[in-house]
Structure 1
Amino acid sequence: MCGYPVKSMMKPFDIIHLSTCSMSFLAPSFKNQKVIITCHDLFTFHQVLHKRYDFNLEFKDNIKRILNFQSVKSLKKADIIIAISENTKKDIINFLDIPEEKIKVVYNGIDRTLFKPRDKNISRQKLGLPPEKFILLNVGTENERKNMVTLLKALKIISKKNRDVFLIRIGRQSEASRKYIRENKLDHCVHYFPYVEDIHLFYNAADISVFPSIYQGFGLVILEAMASGCPVITTNESAIPEVTGEAAIKVADPFEPDDFYQAIKTLYDSSSMGKAMGLKGIERSGLFSWEKCAQEIKTIYYSMS
């Protein structure tokens, strides 16, 4: 959409759907069309207004945060806002004072033809991963809300007691993680893959997926792990409980490494519990589909005509 002049888009359409808040600055340009904006999260506002998330950001990150803050304010120009979780809807109401009736919740979906249970040993063989290791998996970015260093601190505890535990990180490494791994000599028990094409196989190869996030607009990687039958350890923060229900272990304190260590140890010591959690995750993930998502958005379109 951004590759075309806005004016050329105005006449032929009755509804303009902007798929992210970062595009919401375009909303005022559409004078004669109904505008829908999909809002994935409002973490920018949490950073600005909550001391809990008072991170020491670099200058460029502060500039980006300010721009995001201004862009999100353009949500008020929308006729309908689609929030991808009840938590995001709550944030929109609380931070932007937008009437609840303007906000519709439509959950993300999952491609169940890709993310599904597979044989663990075969998956490891295809990926060239050691069959004897107890593999932890974490997928996604390492920005501040993903709370990655807390997981590394838990890994430090684990590595002293269980030498066969190994963490696979898929995504770019932050400087904070690089520094912590170097200073605590954890290179032997963590391996980074900046990018992979066969992400689905990693979920199948892992013994546990661990997501220590302190804020998620939805939590798609958590859903991917659950659909794959991989037991999930995560937090009880933001939208995460909406995705997991009771199908994951949720730690009490997202900033306490020992909580993650104890949760990991529980599944390490009991393969039967891990299997049970995996089955719960598969069942829970069945509540989410892209077909359902598309149908609900279609209903919103027709309601505006």
Structure 2
Amino acid sequence: MPSLVIDARMVHSSGIGVYLKQLIPFLLPSFQVSVLGKPEEINEFAWASSVQVIPAEAAIYSIKEQFELASKIPPCDIFWSPQYNVPLLPIRAKKRVVTIHDTYHLAYRHTLPLAQKVYATAVMKAAVRLADQVITVSHFSQTEIVKYTSCPPEKISVIYNGVDTLRFRADLPETASKQLKDALPELPENYLVYVGNVKPHKNLITLLKAYAGLDSPLQAKYHLVIVGQKQGFITPDQEVFQFLEQQPSLRGLVHFTGFVPDELLPFLYKCASLSVFPSVYEGFGLPPLESMASGCPVVASSSASIPEVCGDAALYFRALDAEELRALLKTVLTDERLRADLVKRGLKQIEEYTWEKSAARHLSVLKGLLTSG
């Protein structure tokens, strides 16, 4: 059986962690799998007993990690990096694969500190050069990778992510609302939900400006709930907090939940009246699809990969146009038939995004490398 070594050090990160946790079980029947990571983190998963765990403790994005990766990656048929932070020194792998989810750090490098800007540019270009195959998650990201790294398009395989429809589903029990209220007692009865963080490209400021301009009765009926970490990012969107400080009328209407356990997220979608995804830059974007799977209507920006992924199952606005978003919010929140139609279209749309389909495409790419020269 061919050997596959996977860098699983980010298995508990939000997007990359979901990607790893969903795909690894599908790879086990076809490969002898080893994973790099902290044993105490890897051993939490049911598939841990079927892989060899190679302890890797060095901080990610550090000089020390580069030496650790070079020394600890064993001889193998394929080494797979699930994100652009690849080993830069020689490793004992016959073939190398890297997944680059997006090129945010290159497209928005003007917003980054100098050290981060230099590192991201050098490492992402090296990742493309050193890899025998590049995987990305949308045709939009494929175009961006070619644009910013000069990677040949034929070297890039586009493989969509999936949605965990066992977790995110419209037929959650009727007790979901009570369970959510017990866990988050401050949660309002009716609300719009935003799931993400406050990095500038997530464009939360446009959503806040749009919401601030809604009629008072509509605001009173539908609060805005922001799910995700509020602090702790290298490049947080300070404009968000400044805007909220200048809008005393929004106090009591805008709620930050902070970190929410994974098991509560499906309930937050299910009980929301509307999910809003205002991002200006996404390689894929799972929250809109998770919303659709949960039976929640979606309004999203028309930027980047979002229309490619969401198709006709969302209503779109120009990402920086708060007035257009405000009008759309008012329309959707006051039209139950429209919301019901969006829910129906969303449930149809997610049929295209299963982890089984995604895994089959990953296996095809990996097995193809074994037979290539």
Q: Give the TM-score of the pair, scaled to structure 2.
A: 0.74
Describe the superposition over 1:14-65 as per-residue Cα deviations: whole angstroms up to 9, x where unpaired.
Answer: 11101101x22x15523652100000000122113xxxxx55x6xxx44323
What is the Cα-based RMSD across aligned positions, in Å? 2.1
8 A contact 1:121–1:205 mirrored in 2: no
1:19 and 2:82 are equivalent in the alignment: yes
Deviates more, 1:5-14 or 1:224-233: 5-14
Q: Between the two proteins, what is the percent identity of the paired residues?
A: 26
Separation of aligned partners in 1, 2:74 and 2:190: 58
* Among 320, 332, 338, the residue aligned to 1:267: 332
The higher relative CO (CA closer than 8 Å, separation ≥ 6) is in: 1
Separation of aligned partners in 2, 1:245 and 1:76: 33
Describe the superposition over 1:243-299 as per-residue Cα deviations: whole angstroms up to 9, x where unpaired.
Answer: 100000011x21111111111111111111101101111110110111111111111
Output the amino acid matched with 2:213. Answer: I
Output the amino acid matched with 1:94. Answer: K
Q: Give the TM-score of the pair, scaled to structure 1.
A: 0.89
Partner in structure 2 of residue 208 of structure 1: 274
1:224 and 2:290 are equivalent in the alignment: yes
Separation of aligned partners in 2, 1:130 and 1:122: 17
Distance apart, 1:124 and its partner CA: 2.8
Output the amino acid matched with 2:240. Answer: S
8 A contact 1:158–1:165 mirrored in 2: no
Separation of aligned partners in 2, 1:247 and 1:193: 27
Partner in structure 2 of residue 146 of structure 1: 202
1:72 and 2:124 are equivalent in the alignment: yes
Deviates more, 1:6-15 or 1:182-191: 6-15
* Among 158, 174, 184, the residue aligned to 2:247: 184
Partner in structure 2 of residue 170 of structure 1: 227
8 A contact 2:169–2:294 mirrored in 1: yes
Separation of aligned partners in 2, 1:157 and 1:120: 35
8 A contact 1:169–1:193 mirrored in 2: yes
Distance apart, 1:66 and its partner CA: 2.8
* Among 143, 154, 165, the residue aligned to 1:90: 143
Q: 1:72 and 1:131, CA in 2 relative to 1: closer, same or farther beyond 3 A? A: closer
Separation of aligned partners in 2, 1:250 and 1:9: 47
Partner in structure 2 of residue 234 of structure 1: 300
Separation of aligned partners in 2, 1:132 and 1:199: 15
Q: List alignment gaps of at least 5 residues for structure 1.
A: 49-53
Partner in structure 2 of residue 51 of structure 1: none
State the aligned residue count: 293
Partner in structure 2 of residue 302 of structure 1: 367
Distance apart, 1:234 and its partner CA: 0.5
